[in-house]
Amino acid sequence: MDDLVNTVKQHLDSIEGVTKVVVAYSGGVDSHVLLHACSILRQQLKPLFFSAVYIDHGLHDDSVHWSEHCKKITAELGFPFHSIQVNAQDKHGDGPEQAARVARYAALSTFIDKHSVLLTAQHEDDQAETLMLQLLRGAGVDGLASMPSFNQFNAGFISRPLLRVSKQHILHYAKNKGLKWVEDSSNYDVSYDRNFLRQEVIPLIQSRWPAFSKTTARSASHCAEASKVLAELSKELLSDSVGHELSIQLLAGNKEETQRLMIREWLKTQGVRLPSKKILQQIQSMLKIDSNKPTLIAWADHQVRLFDNRLFYTPKTEQLILHKVKWCGEVLTLPNLLGILTRTTAVGEGIDKALWDSSTTSVRYRLGGERIKLVKRSGSKALKKLLNEEKIFPWVRDSIPLIYLDDHLVAVANLWLDERFLAKEGEQGYVIEWDHPDWRIK
């Protein structure tokens, strides 16, 4: 068995619980060699189901022709084939290469469940390029670790079995097997950073240091090991953190370097691509701010807020605003993620049923200045004060549903009722429930 094929086999043998193998197939020589190796192994690994996926980024005029080529090759090799078109526009200023990468992996993730592994064809020279790019971007240990040979991916796994195989070995295999592949002319466009390194910089370095790819791959492996140790350390430090929030007290008392390590690991647990050093320092500066004054740091699609001595991570979304809507019937489905309001009949509880039925009931959002009179509390209370007392997140307060009978505020969701509109003992009332599982308010 060829060394390259054996390398792929060893990777597949080392993965437990996998029944499906998805090959990311671009039609280029690297992925064609990987696919061909899998076609040989398929006879030996019969419990595994193999398939191939082509991602069309729509960035090249020939991408449709490449898809047809991939379809033809996979049919010849007997692989089920899927071609997926994605939108690879650069929406966040990360550059076209990163935008294409994000779109590609997002599409590939849809094929991966807990019993699947995605095989990609990055090789030793790709690893060297990645490390150089990360170095030039000023990346830390995580970035310099470059690409792992094996990792979690979606619900399953991703494996890069050729990561210690040179490009020269891959080309030798392809020519020896008589393989035919597509050539992407954009690979020679040196306006792209990776291509500039590949075509201009790395050949010059290799002319002086021929083992460049091997030694840099070794450096990446050292960084990956250091990154793993730091991640394990930070997980221990974060063992008392809860979900999307991070206690300021948990960070306090640690050195600034350790604080940054903890914040980075916390963001990784939220599935966030690590922010720049500038953003990280801005987040860290929030530790010195009065937490009673809500503070926001936003970048790309992410937000970190300070409130009640805790940092909160939330995806960046449009503010959920509830415009005035009439409430007719037992159930009202609110727009966006605001959930569902229901009313149920009870005796001596809730809002007076007769009063409700004789009024126009509407649900509105907070405008400011609202007041409500609570049971056994003197006078009416400002809604703003009640929200503060209950420590409702400041960023959701304007979206909490308020229930009005005609123009009188009678309830704030299922949080507070106005005693002047309550059903008396022995009388029927409507009890309000608010279900909002996808929207946390405190």
Question: For residue 79, what are the β-bridge partners?
Answer: none
Could you tell me if 411 and 374 are in contact, meaning their C-beta atoms sit under 8 angstroms apart? no
Residue whose pair of structure tokens reads 């306090």 in the numeric block:
252
Is position 178 annotated in a ligand binding site?
Answer: no
CA distances from 60 to 91, 102, 137, 341 (A): 18, 17, 27, 50
What span, in angstroms and rounded, lies between the C-alpha atoms of 123 and 8? 12
Q: Which three-class secondary structure state does DSSP give residue 278?
A: helix
What tokens were used for 217? Answer: 């791959």
Is position 339 annotated in a ligand binding site?
Answer: no
Is position 94 annotated in a ligand binding site?
Answer: no
Could you tell me if 410 and 327 are in contact, meaning their C-beta atoms sit under 8 angstroms apart? no
What span, in angstroms and rounded, lies between the C-alpha atoms of 295 and 283? 10
Is position 28 annotated in a ligand binding site?
Answer: yes
Write phi, then psi, for 154 (nearest 5 degrees): 50, -130
What tokens were used for 441? Answer: 């308010």
Could you tell me if 397 and 366 are in contact, meaning their C-beta atoms sit under 8 angstroms apart? yes
Could you tell me if 22 and 116 are in contact, meaning their C-beta atoms sit under 8 angstroms apart? yes
Terminal C-alpha separation, the chain: 60
Q: How many helices (H) and strands (E) does the chain have?
A: 15, 21
Residue whose pair of structure tokens reads 């009949």 in the numeric block:
345
H-type alpha helices, 238-289: 248-251, 256-269, 277-285
What span, in angstroms and rounded, lies between the C-alpha atoms of 416 and 338? 17
What span, in angstroms and rounded, lies between the C-alpha atoms of 423 and 346? 9
Is position 31 annotated in a ligand binding site?
Answer: yes
Could you tell me if 260 and 282 are in contact, meaning their C-beta atoms sit under 8 angstroms apart? no
Is position 83 annotated in a ligand binding site?
Answer: no
Could you tell me if 248 and 287 are in contact, meaning their C-beta atoms sit under 8 angstroms apart? yes
What span, in angstroms and rounded, lies between the C-alpha atoms of 403 and 383? 13
Which residue ranges are tagged as binding site for ATP?
26-31
Which residue ranges are tagged as binding site?
26-31
